[in-house]
Structure 1
Amino acid sequence: MMILQPILLGIVEGVTEFLPVSSTGHLILAGALLGYDDSRWATFDIVIQLGAILAIVVLYWRTFWAVLMGLAKRSPGAWRFVRNILLAFLPAAVIGLALHKKIEALLTKPILVCWALILGGIAILLIERLVKPGRMHGVADVPAGTTLGIGFIQCLAMIPGVSRSGATILGALSLGVERRTAAEFSFFLAIPTMLGATVLELAKGGVSVGGEGGVGWPEIAIGFFVSFIVALVVVRAFVGFVSRHGFAPFAWYRIIAGAAALAWLMR
């Protein structure tokens, strides 16, 4: 059983899943730069994202519990919360199912990731400079039309390197949602989105338990646990950091990391 690779990739996933820097892009680049076989680690890369998703459930359990109690009591706010998450998830579900083969083909193109990181960083700087502070506070208070728009913008992240959280957060900011709510909307939306991606991968029979055809369950379990622990720490710090400093530091990181990886790969 391999141990070092799952630990390294689990750390990469946990650190990058909820930051606007593209976890999928970083996993692809990690595989390319460290010489991993993409075909063996593709399913691993998808399934360990559930570890990071579990971190959101743990950190925001009070929010989810309040929503469940609100649904039982027929609270309008709780129903709007669920409506908004499901409505924002709908475009990714439809487009992802329709184009999943083409999306999978993009996962083997590290050069594309580099350019997506660079261009995405430039886009973040422009949005930070041009977009005025949003006035929509709270996921349940975002209008349905705005929610659907965020869902369509999230679909840009089907291009590896764009970043699901980055597209969702910046899309929300552009549509008038304030920073903290935009970040939390991205966290909550990740749950159905990544669950759907994992279920689709498992339905295709993509996981090989041992053998030479793919990475087995022991490696996946290690990556899952590591990504969960790391994401717990990162998400706690991320919301406070963004509230104070905005998203520009992540933009500059994307540009520098994308350029450095591009130069390395072009060697």
Structure 2
Amino acid sequence: MDSLTITAILLGIVEGLTEFLPVSSTGHLVLATEVFGYDPGQWEVFNVVIQLPAIMAVVVLYWSKFMEVAKGLFAGSRDAIAFVRNIIVAFIPSAILGVLLKKKIDAMLETPVIVAWALILGGVAILLIERVAKQGEYRPVENVSVGKSFAIGVMQCISMIPGVSRSGATIMGALSMGVNRRTAAEFSFFLAVPTMFGATAKQLWDHREELAAQSGPVGWSHIAVGSAVSFVVALVVIKLFVGFVSRRGFTPFAIYRIAAGALALVWLMRG
């Protein structure tokens, strides 16, 4: 197995593991650039494409929910309409700011130190929220209020800082408003579908020439391998995540973030 294929597998694992955990997939991919020592320019398109399979894992695991909502919309179901309303309301803030702040976001992606500090500070924030947040009862996403849905969407915007974590920002934002852990996690999963599809579609369009040419050493075979790995790992992670946080909470992820961020700082300052 050549080194490029091994790197594709490792990055696929990183993406699948971290996309839906409150630890920042983008941050880990940025740090992986430093640790693995690969050329980020060669793997830029790869990192964009392998997000799609991870997102599809949500659609596969919650297929029955999506079908129920689709049928409900045609039937005029209040729950189905409320579900779509909440996701759209939460999606709007990041959709607007993502377009307005794209250049600044891209600039931060080139600064691994920002990622390391964001991991540490995000871990501390999770510990504080876990300590003070009151646990509400489980309610499906459609029962979350419009106001809370919008506030969760605003919190998602913080994740534009690499290392913050999209899922972490939305889940912690929901918890701070008294939303149940399981509800918060599911809301984050569902919100990821339009958010990540939109962001990935924009990136694919921006890199359409590189995708068409595929002139670099990282080819479609490597993208296929990374995508397959990302999809399978994300399936497992999503399936286990809700049950885990319902029992154990988010403290283990906070500790991991702080440790990973500290190690990253040591690595980045090594000479």
TM-score range, shorter chain: over 0.9
CA separation in 2, counterparts of 1:108 and 1:4? 23
1:241 to 222, 244, 249: 244
| Matching residue of 2:146 | 144
Is the CA contact (8 Å cut-off) linking 1:14 and 1:234 kept in structure 2? yes
**Which amino acid letter does the alignment assign opposite residue 239 of structure 1?**
V
Aligned residue number for residue 210 of structure 1: 214
* One-letter identity of the residue aligned with 2:227: F
Q: How does 1:96-175 map to 2 (within 5 A)?
A: 96-135=98-137, 137-175=139-177
1:61 matched residue in structure 2 = 63
**Alpha-carbon distance in 1 for matches of 2:163, 2:113:** 10
Identity %: 61
**Map of 2:6 onto structure 1:** 4
Quote the offset at 1:211 in angstroms. 1.5
- Determine if the alignment matches structure 1 residue 253 to structure 2 residue 256: yes
Q: How far is the alpha carbon of 1:101 from its aligned partner?
A: 1.1
TM-score (norm 2): 0.95
Which 4+ stretches in 1 moved above 4 angstroms? none
1:21 matched residue in structure 2: 23
Partners of 2:46 and 2:266 lie apart in 1 by: 27
C-alpha contact (below 8 Å) 2:126/2:254 kept by paired residues? yes
Question: What does the per-residue CA deviation read over 1:142-164, in whole Å, with 9 as the maximum and x for residues that have no partner?
Answer: 11111011001001000000000
Worse-matched range after superposition: 124-133 or 31-40:
31-40
Residue of structure 2 equivalent to 1:225: 228
Equivalent-residue separation in structure 2 for 1:217 and 1:81 (angstroms): 37
- Distance in 2 (CA, whole Å) between partners of 1:104 and 1:215 is 21
1:11 and 1:256, CA in 2 relative to 1: closer, same or farther beyond 3 A? same
1:231 and 1:203 map into 2 onto residues whose CA distance is 24
Shift of 1:220: 2.0
Q: Are 2:45 and 2:207, in contact at CA under 8 Å, matched by a contact in 1?
A: no
Q: Secondary structure at the match of 1:159?
A: coil
Q: How does 1:84-95 map to 2 (within 5 A)?
A: 84-95=86-97
The letter for the 2-side match of 1:200 is: K
CA contact (8 A) 1:21 1:117 kept: yes
Deviates more, 1:254-263 or 1:131-140: 131-140
AA of the residue aligned to 1:79: I
The code of the aligned residue for 1:202 comes to L
Question: What is the aligned partner in structure 2 of residue 263 from structure 1?
Answer: 266
Give the Cα–Cα distance (whole angstroms) in 2 for the partners of residues 200 and 216 of structure 1.
Answer: 21
Deviations 1:232-258 (A, max 9, x none): 111111111100000000000000111
For 2:18 and 2:164, the matched residues in 1 are separated by: 12
- CA displacement at 1:218 relative to structure 2: 2.7
Task: Give the deviation of 1:135 after TM superposition.
Answer: 4.1
Shift of 1:43: 2.7
Alpha-carbon displacement from aligned partner over 1:171-230 (angstroms, at most 9, x marks no partner)? 111122110010000001111111111111122135434323x74333222211110000
3-state DSSP of counterpart to 2:189 = helix
Whichever residue aligns with residue 121 of structure 1, its letter is G
Query: Quick one: distance in 2 between partners of 1:135 and 1:238?
Result: 18
Could you list the runs of 5+ residues in structure 1 that have no partner in the other structure?
none
Equivalent position amino acid for 1:12 in 2? V
Contact 1:12 1:26 (8 Å CA) reproduced: yes
- Paired residues in the alignment total 266
1-structure distance, mates of 2:139, 2:111: 38
CA distance in 1, matches of 2:16, 2:221: 18
